[in-house]
Amino acid sequence: MKSPRGKLPLPIIITTICVLLFISVLYAERLSFLNSSSIFKLKTCPRKHTKSKSNDRKAEEVFANASWLDDRFDFDPEECNVANGKWVFNSSLKPLYSDTSCPYIDRQFSCVKNGRNDSDYLHWEWQPEDCTLPPFNPELTLKKLQGKRLLFVGDSLQRNQWESFVCLVQGIIPEKKKSMKRGRVYSVFKAKEYNATIEFYWAPFLVESNTDIRIIGDPKKRIIKVDQIMDRAKNWTGVDILVFNTYVWWMSGLRIKALWGSFSNGEEGYEELDTPVAYKLGLRTWANWVDSTIDPNKTRVFFTTMSPAHTKSADWGQKDGMKCFNETKPIKKKNHWGSGSNKGMMSVVAKVVKRMKVPVNVINITQISEYRVDAHSSVYTETGGKILTEEERMNPLNADCIHWCLPGLPDTWNQIFLAML
């Protein structure tokens, strides 16, 4: 019997209905599975204006203390702009170390040992506006570094950060399971139980110069080899995590004597360049080395932005003051930017990094450090290998407003670095 014109046979209709029902069931199961998997998307760095549902809160409570939780999934630098925030005083905040409990701090940064009596600078906590910055966790840090080499490369401010990082983790390592070998150029801290090293290599310009190893005090006699890096960089290979910086040594004047390979007359063949131009040439040489040498599948690369100097008290409204001398509180003015941070130089870094093939993670510490006029070594430091006397500490001209006390601000730099790591 033939079916009427325009109507489908009954068996075809029944088959079609069954197929649709089957697809619906599969789709419902898929949705259920996705919902049950959403727990792995929880973050400890949420938008502050986002309200969690009760189920989410319960899930967070269940997993909050799980020892296997890896917080690298919790912090998203693209969602959390750590540079946008404020310093909040927290009297209960305690450093993970002191300059007496950590034996690896240069006397230059050991402010308490050198006579600093005020302690408020140790209790300021950085709070980004749109998220929560995870605290520094020494145990988690060492687990992430297990079997790896971490190398900081740069100037004395990079050494400031390196010593902070070492001090933050070394306290939980038994004495016989850690070691430190210090050198003029290259230093290595070993966490033996974790088969990990935290290293520092002295290269204030990254590229070569006549003043990085054998330091020349007179800036007019300094010559930067803007296209030469291999004598230094050959020591940076085979590393799992590289952290670079370079800035303050370039800021010795408006112009820099630059030398590159096309000159054959040695140090007589230099040319004076505007500082940003020489800086760009030096950074391009570094970037070319990274792009041609580093395998991003094996090595992660970071770059710490410039650390500000606070040498002009008028920058923050202290017209009668002198440098950072006697400062005990952060600057409160939002987005304060002083003369010790050159935005033109910072833009050079941004442009060079943007053009690189190898991904570079930028640790932006400049804005948060701009506020911390209180955290410098100031007069609680040494000069010429000798601690300042009590009389010398009364002279504001002796204040070091470039380097930072340890413990102190560089610990927050490393808190940001660990969150990115």
Active site residues: 156, 400, 403
The residues, any chain, with a CB within 8 Å of residue 384's CB and separated by 6 or more, are: none
Going by DSSP bridges, is the β-strand pair 149-154/241-244 parallel, antiparallel, or unpaired? parallel
- Cα atoms found within 13 Å of the Cα of residue 78, Cβ hemisphere only: 1
Asked if omega into 204 is within 30° of 0 (cis), the reply is no
Going by DSSP bridges, is the β-strand pair 376-378/400-404 parallel, antiparallel, or unpaired? antiparallel
- Residue 153 CA to residue 286 CA, distance in Å, equals 12
Locate tokens 């300042």: which residue? 388
- Residue 368 CA to residue 375 CA, distance in Å, equals 12
